[in-house]
């Protein structure tokens, strides 16, 4: 049967599949039960008989089918299996399509990693609000404005990431450089896990040695610092700093405390504000109450926002320390000072509960659900009286220094 449009169109459905031999080497027309015509090329290569589907005839594509057939015929004459060649070509097309679908810039990867793995928790454990803020800060400050932010992740090298860390290091933020290193390493490991890239470029990135701060104010320094708080003109900021010293809580928790969170002498820090993601109760003694009192809204207000910013507390603590003639005092040192005094009187377990430290023992964390309210209340009352003794030189039920 001659290979022509007229002849192929003349092939009719018979209710069963049949074949017509065409006047081309190894080429047949296979007609389905419904009358669909498919051209098939049968050939032998290296002693093995095979078949190659040229394509379906739809009435106007015969020239295309002839070209495909001739290419297959030529391949066989050259010792090439056209079917294997087709499979390889399709695999290459699929790989190219897959690579295109996985093409991402560094900042796109960072945003996607944050949404899916850090914030969305699809792959990782639940993260605390503080962790979410810290990770988002790394993305916005260190990655989004970097020189390689818009570079394809497949083109990023280990050297590029080292240079990224060096930028952070060169401005003196060595601890932050370590945090960026950890974030980038974790992010690229995730990219490997979900097949965006084959190998992570963030392998064995250099890190800085970190020395934990041990600065604790002694009694004399506490008195000098407390007396110098008045150098800050803003009354809300004054009260917030005194609240830090009275309770030992974290700066962000102090900065965002709201009036409705305080009831019956207890301040309940909600889980969304807590670093470890667990609600925490803090006893507000008679000594501390004057600094926390407020009718509604945020306790420590700001003229620029609803509440004072935690960074404000960070900046004014060294200013107060300088006015007091103290060296190397930072905001977190106040928390460490409170912790040290309480630890010396009540031991570490109570100190950890007052400060809402994460329970390290997994069994204890899972089964030890005692709230320690009694011990926390006793510890904070003792510390507030101790602070009064340090500041005034005597013990009394109420601190008599004006805010």
The pLDDT assigned to 368 comes to 56
* Residue the block writes with tokens 């990770």: 135
Q: What is the pLDDT of residue 295?
A: 78
Q: How far apart are CA 23 and CA 2, in angstroms?
A: 5
Q: What Cα–Cα distance (Å) separates residue 343 from each residue in 72, 136, 321, 379?
A: 84, 34, 24, 9
Instruction: For residue 394, give the DSSP letter.
Output: S
**Average pLDDT of the chain?**
89
- pLDDT over 70 at 145, yes or no: yes
Which pLDDT band holds residue 221 (cuts at 50, 70, 90)?
A: very high
Among 264, 238, 255, smallest CA distance to 310 is for 255
Average pLDDT over residues 50-61: 90
> What pLDDT is recorded for position 199?
93
pLDDT band for position 2 (50/70/90)? very high
pLDDT, tens digit, 9 for 90 and up, residues 352-374: 999 998 766 565 665 556 789 99
**Hunting for tokens 């011990």 — which residue is that?**
375
Q: Residue 268: helix, strand or coil by DSSP?
A: strand
Instruction: Kindly write down the DSSP assignment for every residue of 270-303, as one continuous string.
Output: -TTTSTTSS-EEEE--TTTHHHH--SSSBSS--S
User: pLDDT-derived band of residue 92, with 50, 70 and 90 as boundaries?
Assistant: confident
Share of the chain above pLDDT 70, in %: 90
Residues above pLDDT 90, as percent of the chain: 71
DSSP state, 110? H
Query: pLDDT tens across 268-306, in order?
Result: 999 888 888 889 999 999 999 999 988 789 999 988 888
């Amino acid at each position: 049967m001659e290979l022509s449009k007229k002849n192929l169109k003349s092939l009719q459905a018979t209710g069963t599949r049949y074949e017509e031999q065409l006047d081309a080497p190894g080429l047949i027309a296979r007609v389905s039960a419904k009358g669909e015509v498919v051209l098939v090329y049968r050939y032998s290569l290296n002693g093995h008989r095979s078949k190659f589907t040229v394509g379906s005839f739809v009435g106007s594509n015969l020239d295309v089918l002839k070209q495909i057939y001739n290419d297959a015929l030529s391949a066989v004459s050259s010792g090439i299996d056209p079917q294997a060649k087709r499979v390889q070509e399709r695999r290459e097309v699929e790989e190219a399509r897959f690579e295109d679908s996985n093409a991402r810039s560094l900042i796109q990867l960072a945003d996607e990693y944050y949404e899916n793995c850090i914030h969305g928790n699809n792959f990782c454990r639940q993260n605390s609000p503080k962790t979410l803020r810290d990770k988002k800060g790394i993305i916005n400050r260190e990655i989004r404005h970097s020189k390689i932010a818009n570079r394809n992740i497949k083109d990023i090298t280990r050297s590029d990431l080292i240079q990224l860390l060096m930028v952070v290091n060169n401005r003196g933020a060595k601890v932050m450089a370590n945090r960026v290193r950890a974030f980038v390493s974790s992010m690229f490991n995730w990219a490997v896990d979900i097949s965006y890239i084959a190998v992570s470029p963030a392998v064995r990135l250099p890190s800085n040695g970190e020395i934990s701060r041990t600065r604790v104010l002694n009694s004399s320094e506490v008195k000098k610092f407390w007396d110098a708080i008045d150098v800050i003109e803003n009354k809300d900021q004054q009260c917030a700093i005194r609240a830090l010293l009275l309770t030992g809580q974290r700066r962000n928790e102090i900065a965002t405390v709201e009036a409705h969170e305080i009831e019956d002498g207890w301040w309940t820090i909600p889980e969304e504000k807590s670093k470890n993601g667990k609600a925490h109760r803090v006893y507000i003694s008679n000594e501390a109450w004057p600094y926390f009192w407020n009718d509604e809204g945020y306790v420590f207000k700001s003229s620029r926002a609803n509440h004072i910013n935690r960074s404000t507390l960070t900046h004014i603590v060294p200013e107060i320390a300088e006015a007091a003639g103290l060296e190397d005092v930072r905001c977190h040192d106040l928390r460490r000072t409170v912790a040290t005094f309480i630890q010396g009187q009540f031991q570490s377990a109570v100190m950890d509960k007052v400060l809402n430290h994460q329970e390290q023992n997994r069994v204890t964390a899972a089964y030890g659900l005692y709230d320690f309210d009694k011990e926390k209340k006793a510890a904070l009352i003792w510390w507030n009286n101790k602070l009064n003794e340090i500041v005034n030189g005597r013990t009394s039920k109420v601190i008599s220094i004006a805010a």
